[in-house]
Amino acid sequence: MVHAFTVDVEDYFQVETFASQVSRDEWGNRELRVEANTRRMLSLLDETNTKGTFFILGWVADRVPGLIKEIADRGHEIGTHSYWHRLVYSLTPEEFAADLKQSIEVIQAASGVTPRTFRAPTFSITKKNPWAYEVLRDHGITLDSSVYPIAGHDRYGIPDAPRVPYEPIPGLTEAPMSTAEAFGRVLPFGGGGYLRIFPFAITKKFFDQSAAAGRPVNLYIHPWEIDPGQPQIPLPAKSRFRHYHGIGKCESRLRALLKTYKFGTLTESLASK
């Protein structure tokens, strides 16, 4: 079994948590830390002889095209994470199509690779916007990884979505984010804040549970999550906890997972048994 190692390549100030504090007009004035942090991630993958899938934010590809080419040249799978990191369900189909097209073009120009995989910012394909699948397929996307099959989150989730890969429409595969059963509930895990917030023993237990059920884990991470030195932006308590908790431990936890389990690209994971 090959678990998927995926990276959402965006900078710390571009996450939805900061949308009300840092406008997109201000992005260009912020210190760009994504390049150094992504190279740290690449070194970690080299250290463990792992290939992964990198979902590139188009805005980042425009600013540091050399980084995107380096990711591709080092043998990793290239996907798109949109251009402007807007919640897909906040857009019209036409706005989403324009943003997706712009991201594909700039990523292709930087890397020489046409992205065929997509991950929505903040997993923002939900029951609000099933039209997004047709937009993706119309732009050559064949593999999506944007759905969290959970209930109760304030920003994302499709509670009754399958927990294994499926086709929401013909010609497009959805690789949902990983979940586990505990306390009579289906819980999210497998990267990001969940990797940082849950006790590491719980994360490993969920990995083993998922593998025993025949479900490779879809692990995701952001470069800023291994950057404890990033600038601190004032936030309400809940948002501050989500963004900053456990950042100092994240890189060591990733290394431990990479040395314990076998990982590959999302495409390789889907093909494994």
What pLDDT does 266 receive?
A: 98
User: Does position 273 have pLDDT exceeding 70, yes or no?
Assistant: no
What pLDDT does 184 receive?
A: 87
User: Does position 24 have pLDDT exceeding 70, yes or no?
Assistant: yes
Q: Are 181 and 174 in contact (CB under 8 A)?
A: no
Residue that has been written with the tokens 């294994």 in this structure: 164
Half-sphere exposure of 192 (CA within 13 A, CB side): 19
Distances (CA, A) of 150 to 123, 163, 219, 237: 11, 9, 16, 23
Half-sphere exposure of 138 (CA within 13 A, CB side): 12
What pLDDT does 140 receive?
A: 98
Count of C-beta atoms within a 10 Å radius of residue 83: 23
pLDDT per position as a tens digit, 182-232: 888 999 998 889 999 999 999 999 999 999 999 999 999 999 999 999 999
d(CA 11, CA 223): 7
| Predicted model pTM | 0.96
d(CA 245, CA 74): 31
Contacts of 137 (CB under 8 A, 6+ apart): 169, 171, 172
User: Does position 176 have pLDDT exceeding 90, yes or no?
Assistant: yes
What's the average model confidence in pLDDT over 227-247? 92
What's the average model confidence in pLDDT over 91-115? 98
Instruction: Bin 130: left if φ > 0, else alpha if -120 < ψ < 50, else beta.
Output: alpha
Q: At what angle do helices 34-47 and 247-260 cross, to 10 degrees?
A: 30
| pLDDT category of residue 262 using cuts at 50, 70 and 90 | very high
* Helix, strand, coil percentages in the chain from 3-state DSSP, rounded to 5: 45, 15, 40
pLDDT per position as a tens digit, 108-157: 999 999 999 999 999 999 999 999 999 999 999 999 999 999 998 888 99
Mean per-residue pLDDT of the chain: 96
DSSP 245: T
- For each of the domains in the chain, give its residue range(s) and CATH number, in order of start: 3-271 (3.20.20.370)
3-state SS, 96-107, equals HHHHHHHHHHHH
Contacts of 20 (CB under 8 A, 6+ apart): none
Q: In terms of Cα–Cα distance, which of 86, 145, 106 is closest to 136?
A: 145
User: Does position 258 have pLDDT exceeding 90, yes or no?
Assistant: yes
d(CA 117, CA 110): 16
